[in-house]
Amino acid sequence: MKVTKEQIYDALRAVVDPEVGFDVVSLGLIYDVAVDEANNAKVTMTLSTQSCPLHEMMVEWVRAGAESVEGVGEVEIDLVFEPMWNIDMAEDHVKEALGRF
């Protein structure tokens, strides 16, 4: 069974940033998901700030979310800070809730 990028994105919607109460996909913290022929996944993500106090926990929550997809193999997390995250990367409902509209 082929694991899809969309399945992993869906699973990552269950990973909530406890500081703001929104999932990492809606916040725009997930920059990309790639799945190879062996169903190994690479998730490219960022954090809202480089000094995020939940840095290690967020990375592990994202890894666990991706690993929860049936059939997924190894999961690699590529944590990047370029481009730097900003609220404009979030989905519209998040921006509205945080007063950015």
Which tens digit of pLDDT belongs to each residue from 73-101? Answer: 999 999 999 999 999 999 999 999 988 65
Please enumerate in sequence order all residues whose Cβ is within 8 A of that of 66, keeping only pairs 6 or more positions apart, or say none: 8, 11, 12, 33, 41, 43, 72, 75
Task: Return the pLDDT at 101.
Answer: 57
Which pLDDT tens digit goes with each residue over 23-66?
Answer: 999 999 999 999 999 999 999 999 998 998 899 999 999 999 99
Which CATH number applies to 5-89: 3.90.420.10, 1.10.357.10, 3.30.300.130, 3.30.413.10?
Answer: 3.30.300.130
Domains of the chain by residue range? 5-89
pLDDT of residue 52: 86
Q: What is the pLDDT of residue 25?
A: 98
Q: Given this model, what pLDDT does residue 98 score?
A: 85
Give pLDDT, residue 82: 95
User: How is 12-69 classified by DSSP, letter by letter?
Assistant: HTT-EETTTTEETTTTT-EEEEEE-TT--EEEEE--SSTT-TTHHHHHHHHHHHHHTS
